[in-house]
Structure 1
Amino acid sequence: MPPTIPPWPGKRSGWPTAPHVARMAATTTSGAVLLRRELTVNDAQKVTLGIIAAYVVAIAILWNVPYIKWVLWPFKMLVIAFHEFGHALACVATGGRVKSISLDPREGGVTHMQGGRNAVTLPAGYLGSSLVGALLTFAGFNINASKIASIVVGVCFLLTLWWGRRDWLTVATVLAAVGLLVGCWFIAHAEALRFVVLFIGVMSSLYSVWDICDDLILRKVNSSDASVFAQRYGGSSQCWGVIWSVISLCFMAAGIVAGIAAFPQSAAQQREDSQHFIPTKF
């Protein structure tokens, strides 16, 4: 006796009709096309990816070459401010209190905290700055997104300024950064702002990687966040540094992929949209 073929589930028994099959195929095809479209890199995004690659190379060179590495000093201080803000935010989020934030001209910083969970606050500096970098890199794919990101960054800077108001370098760094962002709003309907936000995002994403290499491989600093974390929770500082670096790179990669998927507009479309969203022009 031949096997019985079960009926096709649906409104009626039996196999699907030709129109039903056509609708199913159309739905599946449209979903596949949508997925391909979201991950397709257009001309504007190719330019952005090229700029990101150029930023990575330029930062890598300027980070290590004597004398000319001071070109990056203002941006290093800015990223260090992100780093310290990550410590401070994690401290507050885990029930602690931030006493002060200070930045060191020799490219250092310290956040004085009381309470909070060290297991969260210690890695929050590197991971927090890399997460901010990934979000800024994501926003750097679009002019309007860069405008929104600059507002959020400005608010975070004001919080950092409140905690670091007694340190002149912190105040000067924060005010200079806010001034740079505000000034870029007035250049070609904030088109310049996108490239500044993108640079700060790339710099912040890679800061943890290069700084960990400096502290734990080249100089072997015993007072780094990773070494303190290893002393309290086990493992080696190099191991935790590598883990945090890998997480930072994953954040950056996720920001790039998300930017490609979320912002398919051409350069002309971005400029037109920017003229209608908090319009400014110098």
Structure 2
Amino acid sequence: MVLDAIMTTWSQPEVLALAGLSLLLAVFWRVPIFGWLLYPLRLLDTFVHEMSHGMAAIITGGRFERFVVYPNREGLAHIRGGNRFVVVSAGYLGPALLGGALILLSATELAEQTILIGLGLGLALLCLRFVRNLFGFVAGLLLAASLVAAGWYLPPQPASWLFLLLMMHLPLTSANSLVDLMRLSVRRSQREQRTDAEVLAAMTHIPALVWALFWFVLALAIVVVTVTVAWSV
């Protein structure tokens, strides 16, 4: 098979490093001081979250009109049509799917620098096309330029570690965000904007907590499956 020809087996040290980094990111996410150090990555999560809504709308026959991102890492995608269930779910599953795709790419012969440049160019194009507020536009292009610069200028080893950080951060942040989402689903408040889980709860009459748990399990499953495939082929 073509896949067998290009995939390489992960070594045990790589897997151990992957597990250790995953644990550190999960811990740092919950520590306020370290959380701010991860602000650029967490801001990237918001871009991926909103773009996932939009891409899901396009795939299911709808229209992705625009989206905005704010300094507090909140965002809002403006969408028309599409499959409502898929579009709403994509916000939290999209980062996990992208992280899973990066995990699979990491086991190929494709250079990490090339992937980083591709990610940066893709983010830049999507920002130019869909972002419609000043902060989101500037922040998105800065993140995109950083990815391109990292892929272009970093030596192979530092680029490899940056890529490792990105590929694990995306699915982990999806899982961490879903933990917060579960808390919000349990503790209802006077929030002006409903969470994605609350939107589906209103549509299906299934509690928001159930949807949050469902997405949490799927996000973790994506990580487990992609790591298993990347390590075993």
Same fold (TM over 0.5): yes
| Gapped regions of structure 1 (runs ≥ 5) | 1-34, 263-282
Counterparts of 1:257-272 in structure 2, within 5 Å, are 257-262=228-233
2:208 aligned residue: 237
Fraction of identical pairs, as percent: 24
Q: Which has the higher contact order (CA 8 A, sep 6+)?
A: 2
1:196 aligned residue: 162
| Alpha-carbon distance in 2 for matches of 1:70, 1:175 | 20
Cα shift readout 1:92-151 (whole Å, capped 9, x = no counterpart): 112222221111211211101122221110001111111001111222345625345334
1:269 aligned residue: none
1:21 aligned residue: none
The Cα of 1:174 is off from its aligned counterpart by: 2.5
Larger Rg: 1
Equivalent of 1:226 in 161, 183, 197: 197
Q: Tell me which amino acid in the other structure corresponds to 2:13.
A: V
Report if the CA contact (8 A) 1:143-1:191 is conserved.
no
1:161 aligned residue: 127
Q: Considering only aligned residues, what root-mean-square deviation do their CA atoms show, in Å?
A: 2.5
The Cα of 1:236 is off from its aligned counterpart by: 1.0
Report how many aligned residue pairs link the two structures.
Answer: 222
| Gapped regions of structure 2 (runs ≥ 5) | none
2:66 aligned residue: 100
CA distance 1:47–1:170, change in 2 (3 Å): farther
Report if the CA contact (8 A) 1:81-1:160 is conserved.
no
Equivalent of 1:81 in 33, 47, 51: 47
2:105 aligned residue: 139
Cα shift readout 1:4-31 (whole Å, capped 9, x = no counterpart): xxxxxxxxxxxxxxxxxxxxxxxxxxxx
| Alpha-carbon distance in 1 for matches of 2:88, 2:131 | 23
TM-score by length of 1: 0.70
1:130 aligned residue: 96
Q: Tell me which amino acid in the other structure corresponds to 2:32.
A: P
TM-score by length of 2: 0.84
| Alpha-carbon distance in 1 for matches of 2:122, 2:90 | 15
The Cα of 1:178 is off from its aligned counterpart by: 2.4
1:247 paired to 2:214 = no
| Alpha-carbon distance in 1 for matches of 2:93, 2:111 | 22
Q: Tell me which amino acid in the other structure corresponds to 2:163.
A: V
Counterparts of 1:200-211 in structure 2, within 5 Å, are 200-211=166-177
1:187 aligned residue: 154
2:81 aligned residue: 115
| Alpha-carbon distance in 2 for matches of 1:159, 1:224 | 27
SS of residue paired to 1:166 = coil
CA distance 1:54–1:179, change in 2 (3 Å): farther
| Alpha-carbon distance in 2 for matches of 1:148, 1:242 | 35
Q: Identify the structure with the greater helix proportion.
A: 2
